[in-house]
């Protein structure tokens, strides 16, 4: 074995030392590199592995394969076959380094990283650049963060600059993955660069998802990987909400784009475009997310992402596995909904988790002809608990609730008799809660009425044309402050509430607001709004009758009420056509 390896390496050196390389001679070098790769990767004897390691990687060895094949002269060689040999040589280094392992590679790692970074900078072939980056990534992954480990000077600066250029998607993807790894292992080296990288990742993700030619999937995957690495440096969620929210939004848009491609693109078109098999992409994605849901060790954040992903992938599930499989996927949400219910009752911050489940349910139900009673009962329980908790939510959480409730109602509206039953039960729950009060002892204002919160909720739900952004704009303009949270000051006589307190503004919990928006296409939104409104009025009147309460109709604005407007208003409530 040792003699053969030495012979191969000497032959390589002899050939590349020739003044000029013909195509056949370059091809011979490439074949020799492949032979060396096969020989080294199949070594079993520990002493042989040590010998090959020293011969291949030792700087003092005249036969070192990197020093000969990737010299400055070779980097300038405009020979496609020779470039392929350099690429295969770098692949050998990465694969053999993994075989040898971190501790035994440690003496060679710094110099190999230096050499590979130099190759990346000076080689003119993108395939060679990508292979060099792959080697660096492998070696950096083996490095410790002790003082002995070092990075080439200016490497981070060069990588950040290069990734922002209009290079090939493969090279940029390799740079992103490497930068993400550097963030995790060499935080000090990335200081001052992480904000730049985060902004770049989000902007590039936006460009990719809006590209007329479709996204470059390898680059999108690398962007997500880099974002994931960046998030490891942001543990304080209150101080870094923009980072967390941006990453969630990026992931959600990625899932939307993937789902669209899987559900709309034909297998022939995917193959013609050089994309991977649609069936394989679908299986891999579903396998990943289902494994997260099946594992008892999965953290809540990953479970929430997997649930959201199932909702986003509803159309591909129907395409590749059928509607029965989609029903089974909905059934997988039940245990997590039950957990969320239990934790909400214990006072845990699980409203966001419940909202994610409702949103995924709505995304999936849209693709079904009917909904089983058991599944409808399950989502009714989760939705009812969220509606009950509504006055206690922070403004950002409320935005998500507006949208998911509208989505759920739009998804169930065409499903027959199940819809009015679900609607009336949910409205009834909110009306019962609305006539309650909340203790306001902490602010020394006595009891706080809850009904302004539900006027706010149903006003938004009735506006089926309103989306997340317009609701957010309304909140920012101050039109939602009447029931912004239980820490808002109590309402005055005409039902107008005070402003949200500073504590509410600074302590918004529940994570980023990323929910689906079910399309209005094909829906009779006017009729749906009327059904919702009629349910609110009928359930309110029904409860008032049960409580033996009197009421008066509030006159239109500017009109004088007939008689004593305060007569028959025992409940202190007015009902008008407009909430």
As a whole number, the mean pLDDT across the chain is 78
pLDDT in tens, 236-268: 444 455 556 666 776 777 788 788 888 887 767
CB atoms within 10 A of CB 479: 12
Are the C-beta atoms of residues 125 and 119 closer than 8 Å to each other? no
Average pLDDT score over residue span 205-233? 79
Average pLDDT score over residue span 526-531? 94
pLDDT in tens, 510-527: 344 455 667 778 889 999
The pLDDT of residue 535 is above 90:
yes
pLDDT in tens, 25-59: 888 888 988 999 999 999 989 999 999 888 888 76
Q: Both tokens of residue 579?
A: 């909430």
Burial class (CB in 10 A: 0-12, 13-18, 19+), 62: exposed
The pLDDT of residue 577 is above 50:
no
pLDDT in tens, 443-485: 444 467 888 999 999 999 998 887 666 655 655 554 444 443 3
Q: Calculate what percentage of the chain has a pLDDT beyond 70.
A: 75
Are the C-beta atoms of residues 507 and 238 closer than 8 Å to each other? yes
The pLDDT of residue 221 is above 50:
yes
Its pTM surpasses 0.95: no
Q: Both tokens of residue 321?
A: 């596995």
What's the CA gap between 63 and 71, in Å, rounded? Answer: 13
**Among candidate residues 372, 422, 382, 374, the one with its CA nearest the CA of residue 531:** 422
User: Between residues 442 and 457, which one has the greater pLDDT?
Assistant: 457
Are the C-beta atoms of residues 47 and 5 closer than 8 Å to each other? no
């Amino acid at each position: 074995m040792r003699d053969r390896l030495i012979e191969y390496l000497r032959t390589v050196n002899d050939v590349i030392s020739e003044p000029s390389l013909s195509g056949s001679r370059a091809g011979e070098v490439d074949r020799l590199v492949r032979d060396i790769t096969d020989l080294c990767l199949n070594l079993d004897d520990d002493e042989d592995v040590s010998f090959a390691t020293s011969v291949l990687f030792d700087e003092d060895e005249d036969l070192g394969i990197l020093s000969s094949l990737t010299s400055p002269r070779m980097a300038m060689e405009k020979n496609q076959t020779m470039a392929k040999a350099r690429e295969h040589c770098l692949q050998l280094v990465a694969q053999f380094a993994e075989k040898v392992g971190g501790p035994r590679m440690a003496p060679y790692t710094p110099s190999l990283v230096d050499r590979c970074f130099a190759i990346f900078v000076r080689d003119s072939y993108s395939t060679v650049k990508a292979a060099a980056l792959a080697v660096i990534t492998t070696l950096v992954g083996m490095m410790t963060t002790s003082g002995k480990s070092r990075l080439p000077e200016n490497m981070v600066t060069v990588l950040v600059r290069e990734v922002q250029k209009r290079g090939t998607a493969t090279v940029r993807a390799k740079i992103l993955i490497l930068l993400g790894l550097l963030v995790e292992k060499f935080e000090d080296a990335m200081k001052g660069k992480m904000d730049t990288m985060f902004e770049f990742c989000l902007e590039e993700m936006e460009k990719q998802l809006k590209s007329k030619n479709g996204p470059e999937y390898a680059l999108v995957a690398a962007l997500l990987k880099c974002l994931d690495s960046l998030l490891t440096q942001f543990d304080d969620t209150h101080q870094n909400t923009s980072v967390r929210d941006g990453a969630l939004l990026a992931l959600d848009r990625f899932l939307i784009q993937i789902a669209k491609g899987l559900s709309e693109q034909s297998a022939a078109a995917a193959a013609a475009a050089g994309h991977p098999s649609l069936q394989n992409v679908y299986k891999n994605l579903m396998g990943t997310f289902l494994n997260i849901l099946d594992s008892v060790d999965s953290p809540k954040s990953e479970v929430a992402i997997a649930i959201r992903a199932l909702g986003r992938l509803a159309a591909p599930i129907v395409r590749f596995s059928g509607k029965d499989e989609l029903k089974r996927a909905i059934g997988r949400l039940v245990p997590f909904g039950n957990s969320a219910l239990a934790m909400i009752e214990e006072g845990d911050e699980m409203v966001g988790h419940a909202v994610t489940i409702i949103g995924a349910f709505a995304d999936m139900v849209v693709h079904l002809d009917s909904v089983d009673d058991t599944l409808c009962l399950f989502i009714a329980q989760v939705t009812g608990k969220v509606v009950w908790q509504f006055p206690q939510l922070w403004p950002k959480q409320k935005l998500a609730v507006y949208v998911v409730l509208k989505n759920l109602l739009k998804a169930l509206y065409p499903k027959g008799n199940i819809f009015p039953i679900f609607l009336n039960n949910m409205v009834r729950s909110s009306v019962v809660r609305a006539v309650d009060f909340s203790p306001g002892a902490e602010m020394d204002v006595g009891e706080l009425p809850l009904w302004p919160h539900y006027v706010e909720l149903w006003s938004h739900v009735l506006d089926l044309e309103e989306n997340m952004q317009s609701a957010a704009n309304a909140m920012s303009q101050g039109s939602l402050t009447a029931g912004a949270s239980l820490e808002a000051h109590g309402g005055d006589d005409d039902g107008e509430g005070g402003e949200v307190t500073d504590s509410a503004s600074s302590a918004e919990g529940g994570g980023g607001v990323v929910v689906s928006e079910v399309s209005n296409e094909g829906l009779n939104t006017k009729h749906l709004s009327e059904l919702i409104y009629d349910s609110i009025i009928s359930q309110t009147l029904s409860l008032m009758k049960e409580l033996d309460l009197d009421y008066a109709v509030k006159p239109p604005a500017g009109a004088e009420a007939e008689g004593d407007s305060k007569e028959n208003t025992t409940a202190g409530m007015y009902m008008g056509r407009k909430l």
